[in-house]
Structure formats: structure tokens, C-alpha cells
Amino acid sequence: MIKHSLKRIALFASGSGSNAEKIAEYFTSNPEVEISLIVSNNPKAGVIERARRLHIPVLLFDRTTFYDTNRITQLLIDQRIDLIVLAGFMWLMPGGLVQAFPNKIINIHPALLPKFGGKGMYGHFVHEAVVAANETESGITIHYVNEHYDEGQIIFQAHCPVTPTDTPDDVARKVQVLEHEHYPRVVSEVLLMNNE
């Protein structure tokens, strides 16, 4: 039996899952929010081990299931998911899923969109491009998700300096600090906004 006041989040992640874990930790003491599922396309991803440790159910799928069937969308509807949070999820969201969850899918991007976004711009590639372009700052962008890479409406950005001696790894570390600091709180604010 699902309580109606309970807000249910599905976290999508393809990699290590450090953001997914920070978000799960943030809500552990909140009885009104449940991380109902961790959803992944990658059975070898670090996030799977984190989910096991956090006692969060995992849903794994392959490309055919995701793009050629509506099984994942239907399952998320059946589970009454209120918000889908992408935390290092690297595949484009299919149209049917976006349409079924209007303004209920958010993503974090490790740069200041609209710069350094689009297909192929993820994880370390983003930080390499920022350093190669001699940027003096980078940061994070949290945005709604539509059917195009990194194009949905921006909800929140935070900035960090990039110095001339910073390597892509240095930038990645600064950006990760911002991600862990802000993403859980912004997720909770979006949940509240959707409630109004």
C-alpha cells in the first residue's frame, strides 16, 4: 500500500553513483520522501553496490528495453514515481518517458550550460573541454530534462573558479564538491514546488 503523502523518487545512474548516494542520504531521515528505485543501464556501475548497501531496489535494463518498449515508463507509472532524478545517467531519455513525466525529470550537468553540453559531453570529457577552452570558471547546472541532451529549462547553477594550472581532474574535484553540496537540496525544492 503506497501512502499518498509519500513522495517517491527514482534515481537514474550509469556510473559511480556518488550523487545518487548523497541524495539518498539526504532523505534518510525524512519520512515523507522515499528513494523507491535506483535505475541503471550498467550492471557493472558502482551505483549498484551503493544501492545494495543502502537497501534501495535496483532496476537494470538494456538499450532495447529502454528505447523500443515502454516497459520502463510503465513501471515508473505503476510505482507512482513523483520525480525522476538523473545522477550521472548517460543515455538520452526517450520521448515517451519525457511525455509521461512532464517537468518531473531533472538532471545535473557538470558545467555551466549552455556551454559544454550536448551529445558526448559527459563526465571527464566536459572537464577536459573546459580546460582546453581556457575557461576561468566552471560549475554545475541542474535542469529539467527534455528529449534533447542538456537543453531543458535551467533550475539552478553554481560556479567555481578554474585557474590556469588546473587539470581536468582538479576541475572535476571542484565540480563534485558543488554537486554534493547542492543537488540533494535542489531535489527537495523541486519536490516541494511540484506539490504546490
Site for ligand GAR contains 184 (CB under 6 A): no
Interface positions, 20-39, toward ligand GAR (CB under 6 A): 20
Tell me if 17 sits within 8 A of 39, measured CB to CB.
Answer: no
Site for ligand GAR contains 122 (CB under 6 A): yes
Least Å from the CB of residue 90 to ligand GAR: 6
Contacting residue, 9, 10, 12, 17, with ligand GAR by CB under 6 A:
17
| Residues taking part in catalysis | 109
As a whole number of angstroms, the distance between CA 193 and CA 136 comes to 33
**C-alpha 151 chain-centroid distance:** 14
Contacting residue, 84, 104, 110, 116, with ligand GAR by CB under 6 A:
110
Cell of 58: 535496483
Site for ligand GAR contains 139 (CB under 6 A): no
Nearer Cβ to ligand GAR (16/103): 16
As a whole number of angstroms, the distance between CA 114 and CA 6 comes to 34
Nearer Cβ to ligand GAR (70/137): 137
CA distances to 58, 111, 163 from 81, rounded to whole Å, are: 14, 28, 41
Neighbours of 55 (CB within 10 A): 8
Give the interface with ligand GAR as residue ranges (CB under 6 A): 13, 15-20, 87-88, 108-110, 122-123, 126, 179
